[in-house]
Amino acid sequence: MCFCIIFEQQNITYMPAAEPVIGKPGKHPAKTDARTLNYVKYLKVDMPGVPAACDWTAKKKSRWGAMKNLHLHDCTLAAAGHMIQCWTLNIGEPVLPPDSVIVKAYSALTGYDPKTGANDKGATALDALKYWRKNGIGGHEITAFATVNHHTKKYVTEAIFLFGGIYVGVQLPATIKGQKVWELSPDGPVGDGAPGSYGGHAICVLAYDEKGLTCISWGKKRRMTWDFWFAYAEEAYAVLSHSFIKNNKTPQGFDLDSLKEDLMNITQQKVRLAAQLSGDETGGHNSKDLIGQDGSRGG
């Protein structure tokens, strides 16, 4: 007896993996000012307890949301929205700022008109941070911010660990197109790999380890290598916010007074920051009306 086994032919279509979505750039070149608070050096000899890896995104199971940054040049405000998500999630009170809140802040900062699309021109990171400090975004305010020495890995990791992430401006290369992990091109930062060949972009960096960092960009988690970071990071900021505080402590147990002290320890202008935090610089006025981080006066 013979057995005949017949295999039925099936047409199988293999779909190529989707390339990572890339949205609009929108961060202008870094604005600098001699009076901007600088994360130049820690006055402490060593910062104990900073781990080799930290991930503030680990609890996030839902979408981050692009916050209109796939269609608008509003990355400087979208990055703030993603930081608010991260902070509130990690204190157990998660908030997802709606797109309308981000667009409202973007309009107030730049003059963007949602009805006509006029003035969709992006902004500097510094101007966005100043706006956030003075006006809040969706009811979430920041107390102060200071620039991080983004050329030094130690300061970058300390700031991410202490403050629940950092607010960052990068000059992205065109080579990110199709990359699942942002890596430095074998040819280096030239040609399509040149800084800014795709455009300036604001992101928040919320995790790090020995291999690289994790940011939120265009609504997705993106990994980047340390080589990529050092080639394309243009500016970075540690941001102090009550949105990262519950019962006067951060998720890792630092109290608010300690965080204020740490933020003063990473700036050369301790007296000005102390006045800003206490609201005493102009005889007890609210810190929003005091001298801003770039030296301009609030209005």
- Answer for the pair 22, 244: CB distance below 8 angstroms, yes or no: no
4 Cβ neighbours under 8 A, 6+ residues apart: none
Burial 87-99 (b: 16+ CB within 10 A, else e): bbbbbeebebbeb
Question: How far out from the chain centre does Cα 224 lie?
Answer: 14
217 Cβ neighbours under 8 A, 6+ residues apart: 23, 75, 201, 203
| Helix-helix angle 270-278:256-265, to 10 degrees | 150
What rounded mean pLDDT belongs to the chain? 83
C-alpha 237/C-alpha 219 separation (Å) is 20
Q: Where are the beta strands (DSSP E) in the chain?
A: 38-39, 54-55, 142-148, 166-172, 181-182, 199-208, 212-217, 220-225, 233-241
Q: What is the pLDDT of residue 283?
A: 38
In 14-74, where does DSSP find H-type helix? Answer: none
Q: What is the pLDDT of residue 32?
A: 74
C-alpha 249/C-alpha 99 separation (Å) is 29
Q: What is the pLDDT of residue 250?
A: 86
C-alpha 219/C-alpha 142 separation (Å) is 22
Q: What is the pLDDT of residue 144?
A: 83
User: Side chain identity at 279, as an amino acid letter?
Assistant: G
Q: What is the pLDDT of residue 12?
A: 45
141 Cβ neighbours under 8 A, 6+ residues apart: 132, 133, 241, 242, 243
Q: What is the pLDDT of residue 266?
A: 61
Tokens encoding 32: 């600098």
- Answer for the pair 176, 228: CB distance below 8 angstroms, yes or no: no
Give the residues of the chain that fall short of pLDDT 70: 1-18, 33-48, 264-299
Q: What is the pLDDT of residue 41?
A: 38
Q: What is the pLDDT of residue 49?
A: 75
Structural domains in the chain, CATH included, are 62-289 (3.90.70.10)
